Chains A and B, each alone.
Chain A
Amino acid sequence: MKRYDTQTLALCAVLTALALALSYMEGMIPIPVPLPGFKLGLANIVTLFALDFLGAAPAFIILIARCVLGALFAGNASALIFSLIGGVLALAVMALLRRTRLLSVYGVSIGGAAAHNLGQVFAAMITLGTAAPLAYLPALLIVALFTGALTGFITSLLFRAMRNTKMRPKQKGLS
């Protein structure tokens, strides 16, 4: 078991709260496209940030905590499977893409958004027991290009802002 120092632990807690707030806030933004499962994926900003700043393991913990707490607050158990499958798939793809060292935040973010939407479609197929939700996949993938670019842009702003603080990434061969 890896031990985290106080700063990392506090940062994880703050990021979990931020991710929760973002995914809650997202529900209040009206979306003009009538596409089920279409979300901006603002919480993905936190995942991507945590992945790069803290490493894959803390990012995973934050993700799980966000999904479980989010489902708990929303009182919606079926939302848990959607956000878990989508979130874990997004994290896995982003961790892989990041390791290639070839991509910028934008590429990683777009890959993550696409993986997230793919996971949502899978979750819908599992809960409904039919392949019908697949029909939404092409549209959701196209949409992921834009939402991914948007979250990538916001994440890049976040990283720029973080450079002006005293906090520095803890990169000791993580991920």
Chain B
Amino acid sequence: MKNKELTLRPRGWDAIVVAAVLLAALLTGACIFGKASDKSLDCVISVDGKEYTRVALADVPESGETITVGHGYSVTIEITPDAVWVASATCPDQYCVRTGKISTAGRSIVCLPSRVVVELEASEGQTDFDIVSG
């Protein structure tokens, strides 16, 4: 019977499938990358281009940790398990203080006058699954 065959032209109902797939992509994306942010992060502080210290956010006490570094000017960095920010700095422009809190991998705070870079990196040791392909 002809009417049992599929329609060959796109129909309005197809949009529902497209919307469902998009929604699934967004939902899984939100779940995975929302969760990934509170996964193990390292706070890397570099001074003058050299790594000064590396602190795993998971190891920081709830009350936080304060590190003061700098080259010429000094920058006071607050590290808590959830976020990293520059609490105060003696530099003239104060951009680093105004950057505010960072809490996801890849974000950074830069203070040019004191040559301090604070970066959040995803911790090492994640499974390498790129080697397998189907």
Where the two chains meet, the residues of A that have a C-beta atom closer than 8 Å to any C-beta of B are 36-37, 52, 78-79, 82-83, 86, 97-98, 100, 102-108, 110-111, 114, 120, 123-124, 127-128, 130, 132-135, 137-139, 141-142, 144-145, 156, 159-160, 169, 171
Q: Is B60 part of the binding interface, using a Cβ–Cβ cutoff of 8 Å? A: no
| Interface residue from B10, B13, B21, B126 paired with A114 (Cβ < 8 Å) | B21
Contact B11 A102 (CB under 8 A): yes
B30 (CB) vs chain A CBs: closest residue: A138
Known: A128-B129, A138-B25, A138-B29. A104 touches B16 (CB 8 A): no
Contact B21 A159 (CB under 8 A): no
Chain A positions within 8 Å of B16 at CB level: 107
We find that the number of chain B residues with CB closer than 8 angstroms to chain A is 32
Contact B5 A159 (CB under 8 A): yes
Chain A positions within 8 Å of B9 at CB level: 104, 156
Contact B132 A128 (CB under 8 A): yes
Other 11 A-B pairs with CB < 8 A, given A141-B28, A142-B25, A144-B21: A78-B134, A86-B134, A103-B14, A106-B10, A111-B17, A124-B134, A133-B129, A135-B32, A137-B29, A142-B22, A159-B5
Chain A positions within 8 Å of B129 at CB level: 36, 124, 128, 130, 132-133
Bound complex: CA A135 to CA B134 (Å): 16
Contact A107 B133 (CB under 8 A): no
